[in-house]
Structure 1
Amino acid sequence: MTHVYNFSAGPAVLPREVLEQAAAEMLDWHGSGMSVMEMSHRGPEFISIYEDAVRNLRDLLGVPANYKILFLQGGGIGENAIVPLNLAGLSMAQPATVDFVRTGSWSTKSFQEAARYVQANLAAGPRAGEGYTSIPPQESWQLSKDAAYLHICTNETIDGVEFNFVPTVQGDTPIVADMSSHILSRRVDVSKYGVIFAGAQKNIGPAGLTIVIVREDLLGHALPICPSAFDWKIVADHDSMYNTPPTYGIYIAGLTFQWLQKQGGVAAMEQRNIEKARLLYDALDADDFYQNRVAPDCRSRMNIPFFLRDESLNDKFLAGAKARGLLQLKGHKSVGGMRASIYNAMPIEGVQALVDYLNEFAGR
């Protein structure tokens, strides 16, 4: 089999060691005679898988004891509705006001979806006609006095903008952070956030699994219209087993958590990710043949969009990359250009192979 490097933004590359273990255990998990896909979610075999995954994730992120870790279906787009349905009850006024900072395509989707259930206030965003290339200075944010929560997307998968700070809020307003595309790639002080959620298909496992980390005092505030399967209080009370969870996704996530621990944990991965991102950005910045349009202090370590100076060469660039085994480099259809997603499972050898190709193609 030809070796390739997969730069897809999601579903994305998984650690080879994880895939090999899953393949070895496909027909018989630990002598049970069953595949994990065949197990009852309430049986002792799967409960042990689930409990290990929760424990290891709590250890990797340093999740405080007063936070619940939930495994749900729905993905990031699903959570854009599930979050306001769970937290709008924090406000005495209905509809509740929720503040949003728009820094890219995903925070925009969150804003638009939440507006169906709450009064969505655009606290900050780009000026008219500007693209998403930076994070507005916090002193320019127009935060509400009585917001139920503040929503941010800490890493924009499509636009390549990443937060490098935790926002300051008024009073005890909880911060809700969509960390889908950089969770477990850098250290995070979970206690600074009320809720962290992430789709698994970037840095954790297969599509279909969503992880929610929620402070306990934020449970029990769901609107009456919130489906019971997505009411965080109900899900927490049943240890994510109120309905059948995405069992195989949880299993793969658990293997990924074990792999991360073997790599030295999140702190060690952060240093690797800094090195990988620096290598790629240095190559893109070397001359004006390629262009990254994101402000340097907001550049994502995970998702790196770039453009060729002469975009008539795009198809030729992609064809040459594919011939080299460098896959999924085409940018999102909404922005065009190219994008390299270099998640935890992407080895530095893959980034170096891409850099070598960038240099060769520009030279030709």
Structure 2
Amino acid sequence: MGSTQSALNFGAGPAKLPREVLEDVQKEFLSYQDTGMSLIEMSHRSKEYTKINADVQTAVRELLQVPDNYKILLMQGGGCGAFAAVAMNLINRTGAADYAVTGTWSAKAAKEAAKYGEVNLVFPKADKPGSIPDRSTWKMNPQASYVYYCDNETVDGVEFSYIPETNGVPLVSDMSSSIMSKKIDVSKFGVIFAGAQKNIGPSGVVVVIIREDLLGNPMKCCPSVFDFTHIAKENSVHNTPATFSVYVTEKVLQWIKRNGGLDEMAKQSQEKSGLLYGAMVASGGFYSCPIDEDCRSRMNVPFRVGGGDEKLEELFLQEAEKLRMHQLKGHRSVGGIRASLYNAVTLADVRLLVQFMEEFQKRHAKQ
């Protein structure tokens, strides 16, 4: 395997962006649309940025087929900021919320929400890491202000294959690492949010999709920058937004549209993840995935090498780096290896990774 290939980025976020988007940004960086100024120098109230702001919202609405009774917000604070914002905007309805904790990020979200109201864990703890308890075991609070879940756990590699039924209680989902990788029925949700840096852009902007009837009742302690009602009224320019991040996100969304939309993104996602999981099965146990098969993520694939041999895993990472395969180290809280297969990661990228895995096994598997 040669060492002159372009770098392969399997990072979980900030993550790989489409090459043609980066090249387009590079061309425009010094002079946006022949203005003689970079977009990052322009006022957020300029006609140029006003159009970008509108175009992002339009692209999100078109790609996800967002109904007319939903607002699309472009906010700051990352996913962690959204954990607090969701609670401060919604929990005031009854003072309580249901949380389905299936991994690291939903656990953090539940902990954050507990600062603002009563949090009910619909299952105390998953039977084992890397699983989603059967829906029949969930214990819901019918008086909850909302039901919260993380569609795809970036750290833990757990993804929901279905939309939970809530019996009319507003459903909130963190889709940071799965948004724009598949079609979803937005009408089943009260709120969807996504940090852009995993699948649709650079860090700095959070896309929030909220049903209009859920606006208008934030807690008094809610800062204006996290107030969904206020941000909607101000069309996401209450203060200076992350203009450059929004600009790049708009380009990524247009790239998705040009390349077959969500149907094609979903098709490629299945092919890429299927190839990688298939390679693990073919390895006879040298590579193993600790996640239940019915909830294995298409986006973030954690695995172990040699039964979790840490020295062997470190060697795997070292050799991968020499081949310019970057950001394969598992999250510090779980260890192992993790390959993130976002929209910008190509099938060819995954084939090269699988080729390296097969060669590594031949050299290091115990006979």
Same fold? TM cut 0.5: yes
Instruction: Specify the SS of the correspondent of 1:184.
Output: coil
2:57 aligned to which of 47, 54, 74 = 54
Q: Which segment drifts farther, 49-58 or 254-263?
A: 49-58
Contact 1:203 1:343 in 2 (8 A): yes
Q: Matches of 1:80 and 1:131 in 2, distance apart?
A: 24
* C-alpha distance in structure 1 between counterparts of 2:166 and 2:61, whole Å: 25
In 2, Cα distance between equivalents of 1:230 and 1:169: 25
SS at match of 1:30: helix
- In 2, Cα distance between equivalents of 1:176 and 1:54: 19
Shift of residue 125, structure 1, vs aligned partner: 4.6
Contact 2:123–2:138 (8 Å) recurs in 1? yes
CA distance in 2, matches of 1:46, 1:90: 35
Aligned counterpart for 2:259 among listed residues 238, 259, 263: 263
Deviations 1:13-37 (A, max 9, x none): 0000110000000011111221110
1:29 paired with 2:26, answer no
Q: Aligned residue for 2:281?
A: 285
Q: Aligned residue for 1:11?
A: 14
Separation in 2, partners of 1:319, 1:302: 23
Instruction: Give the structure 2 partner of residue 226 of structure 1.
Output: 222
Residue equivalent to 1:101: 100
Instruction: Give a deviation string over 1:277-298, Cα, whole Å, max 9, x none.
Output: 0000000121100110111110
Q: Compute the displacement of 1:132 (Å).
A: 2.2
Task: Indicate the residue corresponding to 1:195 in structure 2.
Answer: 191
8 Å CA contact retained: 1:41, 1:244: yes
- Structure-1 separation of matches of 2:209 and 2:6: 36
Number of the residue aligned with 2:271: 275
State the partner residue of 2:140: 143
Give the match's secondary structure for 2:244: helix
Match for 2:209 among 213, 230, 240?
A: 213
Asked if structure 2 preserves the Cα contact closer than 8 Å seen for 1:88 and 1:221, the reply is no
Q: Is the 8 A contact 1:177 1:195 kept in 2?
A: yes
The CA deviation at 1:57 is 1.2
The one-letter code of the counterpart of 2:119 is A
Structure 1 residue 315 displacement after superposition: 1.4
Residue 81 of structure 2 is aligned to residue 74 of structure 1? no
Residues 125, 279 of structure 1: CA spacing in aligned structure 2 closer, same or farther, 3 A cutoff?
A: farther
Q: Following the alignment from structure 2 to structure 1, what is the Cα–Cα distance between the partners of residues 344 and 213?
A: 34
**RMSD after superposition:** 1.1
Separation in structure 2 between the aligned mates of residue 242 and residue 323 of structure 1, nearest angstrom: 46
Shift of residue 250 of structure 1? Answer: 0.5
Among candidates 138, 149, 152, match of residue 149 of structure 2 = 152
SS at match of 2:159: coil
**Do the aligned residues in 2 keep the contact of 1:63 with 1:190 (CA within 8 Å)?**
yes
> Does the 8 Å contact 1:29/1:36 carry over to 2?
yes
Q: State the Cα distance separating 1:311 from its structure 2 match.
A: 2.8
1-structure distance, mates of 2:52, 2:116 = 36
Structure 2 residue identity aligned to 1:266: L
Amino acid at match of 1:343: Y
In the other structure, the counterpart of 1:124 is: 123
Residue 87 of structure 1 corresponds to 90
State which of 62, 66, 69 in structure 2 corresponds to 1:63. 66
Alignment of 1:285-304 (within 5 A): 285-286=281-282, 287-304=284-301
Matches of 2:311 and 2:239, distance apart in 1: 50
**For residue 183 of structure 1, what is the aligned residue in structure 2?**
179
Which stretches in structure 1 are left out of the alignment for 5+ residues?
Answer: none
CA distance in 1, matches of 2:188, 2:129: 25
- What TM-score do you get using the length of structure 2 for normalisation? 0.96
Q: In 2, Cα distance between the equivalents of 1:334 and 1:133?
A: 14
How far apart are the structure 2 equivalents of 1:349 and 1:154? Answer: 26
CA distance in 2, matches of 1:348, 1:126: 35
Establish whether residue 321 from structure 1 lines up as the match of residue 320 from structure 2.
yes
TM-score (norm 1): 0.96
Distance, in Å, in 2 between the alignment partners of 1:125 and 1:284 is: 31
Q: Is the 8 A contact 2:77 2:205 kept in 1?
A: yes
Ranges in structure 2 where 5+ consecutive residues have no aligned partner: none
Asked if structure 2 preserves the Cα contact closer than 8 Å seen for 1:71 and 1:240, the reply is yes
Deviation at 1:131, TM superposition (A): 3.8
1:156–1:181 Cα contact (<8 Å) kept: yes
Secondary structure of the 2:61 match is helix
CA distance in 1, matches of 2:55, 2:121: 40
Q: Which AA in structure 2 matches 1:3?
A: S
Q: Is 1:74–1:208's contact at 8 Å kept on the other side of the alignment?
A: yes
- C-alpha contact (below 8 Å) 2:142/2:169 kept by paired residues: no
Distance 2:288 2:310 in 1: 11
